[in-house]
Amino acid sequence: MPELPEVETIARKLRPELVGQTIVSADLRWARTVAMPSARKFKEQVRGQTITDVSRRAKFLILKLQAAQKPEAYNLLIHLRMSGDLFLRAGKIKPEQHDRLILTLSGDSFSSLVFNDARKFGRVWLTDDLESVLGKLGPEPFGEEFTPRWLYENLRARRRLLKPLLLDQSFLAGLGNIYTDEALHRAKLHPLAASDSVKRKQAEVLHDAIRAVLQEGIRRNGASIDWVYRGGEYQNYFRVYDRENQPCPVCGRKIQKLIVGQRGTHICPHCQKLR
């Protein structure tokens, strides 16, 4: 599943291509792709909307829309989930097998924005109220609210295993399996540690580690390890993730793979001791 750096990379690539384009029509090829509103309302409401911005919140892509001479402004939110992907296609296109939504655009350089999703887990929302979809998300890792003090106090306020808590989008938005493993290794914290056992100094180091791995992921256009997401190179710089039995870059011991909260998890047993 694309995580914050991958979604941020997609948003940055789409922004210059989409801003100013008008959605001429919507071909919804699998109705359940749209979580809200109904399929009929979606096709009616999205038609004639101009894309004014492309941004990201957590793992959601957000296309801001505004129709000419209409006061209401909509937001088109897309969550790629396990296998979703977005393509810009030029000319008259023939829908492919896993195309779930095709938005015909007004531009000359390309004609369609296509949401392709083999496993059908991805979802799209069209709403004038962002909070109705995003309201339960935790703070952004690059936001002002996410400070070392906030992290320390909120880790201590919960008694949960550290990695599952960091993966909880209502706790902190945008982290997934890859960047959580990488951040915990940088911070020398075990994923099975109790969150309320983390000391203040450890929380400060973890805060910096989270931001560091996400910044590095964005700088390298994300990680291309899934069969869907392409174009990133951060996978060439992993410290522990997907490196079972390879040497730890810090101490040289072999990386181990654990299952934590039903997720494959990679650690250095020497650097990340469970105390």
CA 194 to chain centre: 25
From the CB of residue 80, how many other CB atoms can be counted at a distance below 10 Å? 25
Q: How far apart are alpha carbons 171 and 219 in whole angstroms?
A: 25
At how many degrees (to 10) do helices 177-187 and 200-219 cross?
A: 130
Query: Closest by alpha carbon to 103, among 167, 35, 169, 34?
Result: 34
Residues belonging to the active site: 2-3, 59, 263
Task: Give the sign of the dihedral formed by CA 175, CA 178, CA 181, CA 183.
Answer: negative
CA dist 1 and 228 (Å) reads: 9
Determine contact, residues 195/155, Cβ cutoff 8 Å: yes
3-state secondary structure of 139: coil
Side-chain half-sphere of 233: how many Cα atoms within 13 Å? 2
Structure tokens at 134: 């995003």
Residues facing residue 3 across a β-bridge: none
Q: Report the candidate in 65, 67, 60 with the shortest Cα–Cα distance to residue 19.
A: 65
Looking at residue 118, its amino acid is A
Q: What is the DSSP letter of 253?
A: P
Q: Where are the alpha helices (DSSP H) in 129-199?
A: 131-134, 148-156, 162-167, 177-187
